[in-house]
Chains A and B, each alone.
Chain A
C-alpha cells in the first residue's frame, strides 16, 4: 500500500489495512508538522514531489522491508500540498508476527524515505518568508 495524497491522511484506516490475524504487532509512525525548529517558528509547510519516482522509490523500500523482516503488511502514505501545524505529513504502518521486527521495519521505512524518496518540504516561517528544505545545501 503506497500512496501520495493531497487529502488528510486517515491513519486509523491505514492501521486497519495492515492488521492481520497473523500479526502479533502493529506499529504506526506519524510524521506531523512541528511548530518550532531551532528557535524558528513554522506557520505551515508545503510539500512537493516527483510523483512517479516517489511512488517507485516507496515501492522499492516496501520490497526491501519485506525481504529483510517478516512483514505481513506494510503501508506508506505521504501527503502533498499545504499542511498546517499538527497535520500528518506521512504515515507508515507495519504488521509483523513480533514487535521487534515491526519496530525495525517501520524505522527502516521512515528513515530511508527521508533519504531517498523525492519529496520536498517548503517552510512558511512566522516572519512571512519561505524556504525550501534541502539538507546539506546552504541557502
Chain B
C-alpha cells in the first residue's frame, strides 16, 4: 500500500515537502513507517526517533497497524500556546 504522510514544522522543513508517499507492505505498523521514512528521506533521519505519528486525528503508537487509506501525519513535539 502507499501511505501519504503529511509533514509539519521542522519535519516539513527537513524533508522539503509537505507530503511524502511511502510504499509499505499491507499490515505494516507505525514503527515500520517510521523506519522506512528514515531510510527513504535522509534529511529526516535525525528527527525520526522523536517524530510523533498521527493516524487520522489521533496519536498512534509504533505497534499500531496502519489501516489502508488512512490519513497519516508525522511531526516533532508540539509547541503551541
Which residues of chain A are near B78, meaning CB under 8 Å?
114-120, 135
- The majority secondary structure among interface residues of chain B is mixed
In the complex, the answer to whether B79 meets A134 with C-beta atoms within 8 Å is yes
Which residues of chain A are near B9, meaning CB under 8 Å?
48, 120, 122, 132, 134
Segment 22-81 of B: residues with Cβ below 8 Å from A:
47, 50, 52, 54, 57, 59, 73, 75-81
Query: CB within 8 A of B76: which of A53, A54, A115, A134?
Result: A134
Q: Interface size on A (CB < 8 Å)? A: 30
A137 CB-CB contact with B under 8 Å: yes
In the complex, the answer to whether B10 meets A132 with C-beta atoms within 8 Å is yes
A11 CB-CB contact with B under 8 Å: no
Which residues of chain A are near B50, meaning CB under 8 Å?
134, 136-137
Residues of B within 8 A of A (CB): 6, 8-10, 13, 47, 50, 52, 54, 57, 59, 73, 75-81
Q: Can you pick out 6 interface pairs between chain A and chain B where the beta carbons lie within 8 Å of each other?
A: A50-B54, A115-B78, A117-B78, A132-B79, A134-B9, A134-B50
